[in-house]
Amino acid sequence: MPSDTVLIIGGGPAGLYAARSVADLGAPVMLVEKREHLGGTPVTANYASFTPHLEDAETSMQRMVNEVSNDPQIEILLQTRVTAGGGGPGDFAVTLASRSGETRELSVGSIIVATGFDHFDPGRETQMYGYYEYEDVLTLVDAEKMLKAKQFVRPSTGEPPKRVCFIQCVGSRDRRLGNEYCSKVCCGVATKEAIEIKELLPDAKVFIFYIDMRMYGFWEDQLYWKAQEEHKVNFIRGIVTEVLRRGDSLVIKGEDTTMGRPMEIPMDVVILSVGMVPSAGTIEIAKVLNLPRERHGFLETVGAPLDTVTTPVPGIFVAGAAAGPKDIEDSISMAGTAAMKAVSIVRRQLRQAATTVSAGGGGE
Amino acid sequence: MTSEVPIPVTALTRGTIPQRVFQRDPANAPTEDIREKLFELEAQGEWIVQRVPDDTIEAMTKYGRTKRIPRQFTWHHKSCGQCGHIPGYSTSIFWLHRQLGMEYYDPTDQTSCTAWNYYASATSNAAAQAAVAVRNFAAAYETGYFPMIHCGTSYGHYKETREQLVHHPELRKQVRDIMAKLGKPLVIPEEIVHYSEWVHAMRFEIAKRRVYDVSNITVTVHPACHYYKLVAEDAIYDPDLYGGQRTAVITAVVEALGAKVADYSTWFDCCGFGFRHILVQRDFTRSFATLRKIERMKEEANPDVTLTHDTGCVTTLDKSQFAARAHGRNVGIPVLSEAQFAALAMGAHPYRVCQLHWHSVDYRPLLEKMGIDWQARWAEFQEDIERLRRGEMQFLTWEDADAK
Amino acid sequence: MVTQTAKHSHVADVPYEEKERLFTQVTEDIRFHDYLKGCYECGICVAACPSARFYDFSPRKITQAVAREDIDLVYEQMNEDVWNCSQCFSCDRCPRGNSPGGLITILREVAVKNGLHSAKEALEGYSRIVYKIMSTGTQVSPDMLQPDAFPDWGPEVKDVSDNLDLWRRAIPPETHHTTESAWVVDEKTLTELYLIWHMTGVLDMIKEIDEGLHMILQDVMEEALEEKGFSV
């Protein structure tokens, strides 16, 4: 008898929404998460708020977690990984391993992979921003952590900074690095954070150094125009080559391409708008389930652009940033679609099995 | 919207990316490993790859790959500017080899890499540049000794040439035909090695032989553009220095010797050599070197010496300060190669070996601070000159250089 | 001495077909596609560039002009801007994998190969250096350190030139016992170098730039080659 259970790997926004959706569609859910908590990256990385509406991330994620907790349809295993998987729709044999070493074999009908992304590490060898040398060079994530605490200070002094800048496209759009894609959300996130910083520190000068501002759809006025017009955030077209220290300040070296000249500007805090890379969990699950990765390293889907969630392996779907840079809306939408497809394929298997039985052993 | 209770600074500092040092993963490096291509082409009969001799020390390059640096049996590809105008630079490199008992060969069958002229005037082309390179490589191969490149520009240029030869079969053919006419095989070395990579590899041996205490010497380091910006993956990095994000090839040597390395805000800037500019349009070179490098170092680090590992950089930084001083600029930092500094620390004669009399900026305060009696040493050297003048000897020999 | 106006009118009078012909030489160089992928005008090249701080010079604008195939602008840049580049390759940091400095090298080569007046002007005063490298196989020699050639380098230059012979003999490595070249170069080595210059068309390039220099080099090289039994 085919299994009617949908296995969801990853308990971040995509995984949580998929779990809720699958349960609502009436199928049992096995939700597996390698960390000790649900909520995924927004929780682990202490996100302050979501882009673009600035709703509180912690509250939102708690709500999502509540939706799946204490539901008899949804079994949740924390600190658990998928270490082996084979078979096909209706009949995937998977092995789960908990951190304590216990393993468990089970059969599931379909799988949704929601293993998310990691943030690009700007301390790596290709970058010249001094992330591991200078305390006052931060990432978007370091800034989120402070903003969540409703604070923004220079780490080296503990005092509020007078001059803050964001450097866009760190770890993205870079052939030298091998990340030849745009990470989609960093322009929106940086602008959101710029607004939040200006709200905390109205007298601070805030700059964003960019190549292109990626302001899709309604972000244009919700974020970009708002940041410029209401909060006087300075957007300067021209990226930065290196960050060094001069006396008490950091100094950034870039070109102001509008004015057509090199610039060297002191800053108190530099925030690197780091992009997305395939997470360690995504790379691992790709090996375990034999899921091909497309040329940028994320999980491959088939049928694009009219299908965003189907992987080349029948019965396995992907939701969220495991498939490439996604914003939170993308992740939720994919999760709903993946849930629908995951349940459909399980139901189809069950129908076929029932038909076969009733027809006396023939059929497909 | 500020919180009532201030959050301690330590809680607010970075913690998202937990480790303070990036773990390199050479298996997933963003660029190809050109050495694999060299061997593939050798297997196809395209050329001979000269292997690095067995006695090597391994170093880590930018993406975590391993580079093998030969300790000895090296064919020294000399630098025009060093031999011509800074002879203490090349002499110090040879002296270090001799002191450490490392066998080397100093050829006369060697041409300039010709890249200074090429970058200055473009009175050459890709084929000529490649042919000059492989002619020198063949000359080394014929002696059985492995090329070791003295100049930073030669090194960077040869790295570029290697890329071009690997990726352009028509260039390889053209150059092979030229070599055939010269009666030479087409040879490419397994690694292109810069002498500063040798000094880096040998830094602990050098430090063991140090006779002067340099712990009170503050050094600023100037890395050569052509060393680490051309074919950027092939340059030495160290995860313990600069967070692993800046080339460490000189800094590691200075630290091994026990001197203090001071940082400054224009570390990545070019010196302003300009190739053509330093010869015929020196206002650019002088302004750039003074304003962007020397004054910044003086203001921010006030070093006793600035060390670099390239001919052009030593020339530019040393020679640009005199006119700047006449204009009242804040300059006056002696400029040496790290080879000369290491040699001095090991007790090399400042004039017979390091040939400091060819340098422009006053190096004597540095020597005094190191405890070197330059007056006595200069008197000895003047004696040597007199002996030469009187015809008592034809040349100063290596034995003379180390005589007490 | 060519006046500014005259130089510009020279640029303006050139027919489009001629500019196009030169542009095609640039794009047909084997290295062209290594040096130019695409450009999103991030400005990192300019940020890193030393010449951009001193001159009205922009590796970004040069790369853009070539990428856009703006024949007129590229011709202008080939005549006016390319000689300001300091060939440091700090611009190789380009995240698209371009080398603006490399493109400039190609542009310069095309300028030289075609004997552009601006190239000759840029290399005025540089002939003795070309002569030195081409004929001796070393770029600079100790006897070039003369106070009238390098007055701004300080009084040590005079000390060197006053004591040149003795000071050169007071350098331990035997290969350094020379004043007319940086180190002692074998005759056979020079022969090989001369053959390389001939076989790769470099001498023809020099003829375009400086006929006088070319004549001298030709004489020196042909004599040496004939002695060794080579004919060119």
Backbone φ and ψ for B86, nearest 5 degrees, come out as -130, 60
Instruction: Kindly tell me the number of DSSP H helices and DSSP E strands found in chain A.
Output: 9, 18
* Pair (C133, C222) in one structural domain: yes
On whether residue C146 sits in a domain, the answer given is yes
Q: Is C28 exposed, middle or buried (0-12, 13-18, 19+ CB in 10 A)?
A: exposed
Q: Does A202 touch chain B (CB under 8 A)?
A: no
In the predicted structure, residue B309 carries a pLDDT above the cut 80: yes
Domain count, chain C: 2
Task: Give the number of A-B residue pairs with CB atoms closer than 8 Å.
Answer: 107
In the predicted structure, residue B18 carries a pLDDT above the cut 60: no
User: For residue B10, what pLDDT is reported?
Assistant: 39
* Pair (C113, C51) in one structural domain: yes
CB-based contact C52 A255, cutoff 8 Å:
yes
Report pLDDT digits (tens) over C39-49: 999 999 999 99
CB-based contact C43 A175, cutoff 8 Å:
no
Helix (H) or strand (E) holding B177: helix B169-181
C-interface mutation test, from B77, B78, B121, most C Cβ less than 10 A away:
B121
Q: Which domains does chain A have, with CATH numbers?
A: 6-116+279-358 (3.50.50.60), 121-275 (3.50.50.60)
Low pLDDT (below 50) residues in chain A: 361-364
| Confidence band, pLDDT 50/70/90 cuts, at residue B28 | confident
Q: Please list every residue in chain A whose beta carbon sits closer than 8 Å to the beta carbon of residue B268.
A: 128, 241-242, 244, 253
On whether residue C162 sits in a domain, the answer given is yes
What is the spatial distance between Cα A187 and Cα A178, in angstroms, rounded to a whole number?
20
CB of A214 closer than 8 Å to CB of A191: no
| Confidence band, pLDDT 50/70/90 cuts, at residue B239 | confident
Listed residues C122, C140, C156: the one ending a domain: C122
Q: Does B404 touch chain A (CB under 8 A)?
A: no
On whether residue C232 sits in a domain, the answer given is no
In the predicted structure, residue C5 carries a pLDDT above the cut 70: no
Chains with ≥3 Cβ pairs under 8 A against B?
A, C
On whether residue C145 sits in a domain, the answer given is yes
So what's the ipTM on this one? 0.94
What is the spatial distance between Cα A290 and Cα C130, in angstroms, rounded to a whole number?
61
* Pair (C189, C161) in one structural domain: yes
* Pair (C66, C23) in one structural domain: yes
Min Cα separation C228/chain B (Å)? 12
| Least confident residue range of A315-319, B21-25, B300-304, B339-343 | B21-25
Q: Please list every residue in chain B whose beta carbon sits closer than 8 Å to the beta carbon of residue A46.
A: 16
Among B197, B225, B192, CA closest to B311: B225
On whether residue C141 sits in a domain, the answer given is yes
B-interface mutation test, from C83, C183, C210, most B Cβ less than 10 A away:
C183
Q: Does residue A306 sit in helix, strand or coil?
A: coil
Q: Please list every residue in chain C whose beta carbon sits closer than 8 Å to the beta carbon of residue A261.
A: 46, 52
**Which parts of B62-164 are beta strand (E)?**
66-70, 74-77, 104-105, 146-149
* Pair (C13, C112) in one structural domain: yes
* Pair (C26, C110) in one structural domain: yes
User: For residue B188, what pLDDT is reported?
Assistant: 98
What is the spatial distance between Cα A79 and Cα A101, in angstroms, rounded to a whole number?
10
What is the spatial distance between Cα A335 and Cα A318, in angstroms, rounded to a whole number?
8
User: For residue B280, what pLDDT is reported?
Assistant: 87
CB-based contact C95 A237, cutoff 8 Å:
no
Q: Is C4 exposed, middle or buried (0-12, 13-18, 19+ CB in 10 A)?
A: exposed
A205-210 and A276-278 strand pairing: unpaired
DSSP track, B337-368: EHHHHHHHHTT--TTTTS-GGG-SS--HHHHH
Report pLDDT digits (tens) over C176-195: 999 999 999 999 999 999 99
What is the spatial distance between Cα C205 and Cα C203, in angstroms, rounded to a whole number?
5
DSSP A28: -
Q: Please list every residue in chain C whose beta carbon sits closer than 8 Å to the beta carbon of residue A175.
A: 37, 95-97
C-interface mutation test, from A125, A169, A257, A263, most C Cβ less than 10 A away:
A257
CB-based contact C199 B131, cutoff 8 Å:
yes
| Six-digit token string for B355 | 């040939």
Average pLDDT, stretch B161-186?
A: 97
Q: Does residue A204 sit in helix, strand or coil?
A: coil
What is the spatial distance between Cα B287 and Cα A73, in angstroms, rounded to a whole number?
74
| Confidence band, pLDDT 50/70/90 cuts, at residue B21 | low
Report pLDDT digits (tens) over C191-217: 999 999 999 999 999 999 999 999 999
* Pair (C83, C30) in one structural domain: yes
On whether residue C186 sits in a domain, the answer given is yes
What is the spatial distance between Cα B48 and Cα A293, in angstroms, rounded to a whole number?
38
| Amino acid at site A289 | L
| Amino acid at site B187 | V
Report pLDDT digits (tens) over B340-381: 999 999 999 999 999 999 999 999 999 999 999 999 999 999
CB atoms within 10 A of CB B105: 15
Report pLDDT digits (tens) over B114-142: 999 999 999 999 999 999 999 999 999 99
Picking from A123, A141, A242, the nearest residue to B268 by CB comes out as A242
* Pair (C172, C142) in one structural domain: yes
Min Cα separation A88/chain C (Å)? 42
CB-based contact A239 C42, cutoff 8 Å:
yes
Range of the domain at C117: 4-122
On whether residue C169 sits in a domain, the answer given is yes
- Chain A residue with CA closest to C90: the answer is A241
The half-sphere exposure of A221 on its side-chain side, counting CA atoms within 13 A, is: 0
On whether residue C77 sits in a domain, the answer given is yes
DSSP track, A154-213: -TTTSSPPSEEEEEEEETSSBTTTTB-S--SSHHHHHHHHHHHHHHH-TTSEEEEEESS-
> Using alpha carbons only, what angle is made at residue A87 by residues A84 and A90, rounded to the nearest 5 degrees?
120
| Confidence band, pLDDT 50/70/90 cuts, at residue C174 | very high
What is the spatial distance between Cα A285 and Cα A34, in angstroms, rounded to a whole number?
12
DSSP track, B195-251: HHHHHHHTHHHHHHT--S--TT-EEEEE--HHHHTTTTTSSB--TTSGGGTS--TTH
What is the spatial distance between Cα A277 and Cα A120, in angstroms, rounded to a whole number?
6
User: For residue A355, what pLDDT is reported?
Assistant: 87
Listed residues C122, C152, C183: the one ending a domain: C122
| Amino acid at site A102 | E
Min Cα separation C45/chain A (Å)? 8
User: For residue B3, what pLDDT is reported?
Assistant: 35
| Six-digit token string for A79 | 């600190």
Picking from A124, A153, A245, the nearest residue to B12 by CB comes out as A153
In the predicted structure, residue B2 carries a pLDDT above the cut 60: no
Q: Does A242 touch chain B (CB under 8 A)?
A: yes
Average pLDDT, stretch C73-84?
A: 97
User: How far out from the chain centre does Cα C80 lie?
Assistant: 15
CB-based contact B270 C90, cutoff 8 Å:
yes
The half-sphere exposure of A314 on its side-chain side, counting CA atoms within 13 A, is: 10
* Pair (C28, C99) in one structural domain: yes
Sort residue A254 into left (φ over 0), alpha (ψ -120 to 50) or beta. beta
Report pLDDT digits (tens) over B186-215: 999 999 999 999 999 999 999 999 999 999
* Pair (C22, C109) in one structural domain: yes
Min Cα separation A122/chain C (Å)? 15
How much is the mean pLDDT over chain B?
94
CB-based contact C172 B401, cutoff 8 Å:
yes
CB-based contact C60 A240, cutoff 8 Å:
no
Picking from C105, C140, C192, the nearest residue to B80 by CB comes out as C140
Residues of chain C with pLDDT > 70, as a percent, come to: 94
Domain CATH for C73: 1.10.1060
C-interface mutation test, from B123, B228, B286, most C Cβ less than 10 A away:
B123
In angstroms, what is the C-alpha Rg of chain C? Answer: 21
| Least confident residue range of B174-178, B240-244, B334-338 | B240-244
Q: Which domains does chain B have, with CATH numbers?
A: 33-195 (1.20.1050.140), 211-379 (3.40.50.11810)
Report pLDDT digits (tens) over B78-103: 999 999 999 999 999 999 999 999 99
* Predicted TM-score of the model (pTM): 0.94
Q: What is the 3-state secondary structure (H, E, C) of B285-319?
A: HHHHHHHHHHHHHHHHCCCCEEEECCHHHHHHHHH
In the predicted structure, residue C6 carries a pLDDT above the cut 50: no
| Least confident residue range of A216-230, B61-75, B105-119, C216-230 | C216-230
User: For residue B16, what pLDDT is reported?
Assistant: 40
Residues of chain A with pLDDT > 70, as a percent, come to: 98
Picking from A121, A135, A139, the nearest residue to B22 by CB comes out as A121
* Pair (C201, C133) in one structural domain: yes
User: For residue C10, what pLDDT is reported?
Assistant: 58
CB of B95 closer than 8 Å to CB of B353: yes
Q: Does residue A264 sit in helix, strand or coil?
A: strand
| Six-digit token string for B257 | 């010797």
Residues sharing a CB contact under 8 Å with residue C204, sequence separation 6 or more, in sequence order: C113
Among A363, A356, A344, A361, CA closest to A26: A344
Backbone φ and ψ for B384, nearest 5 degrees, come out as -55, -45
* Pair (C117, C187) in one structural domain: no
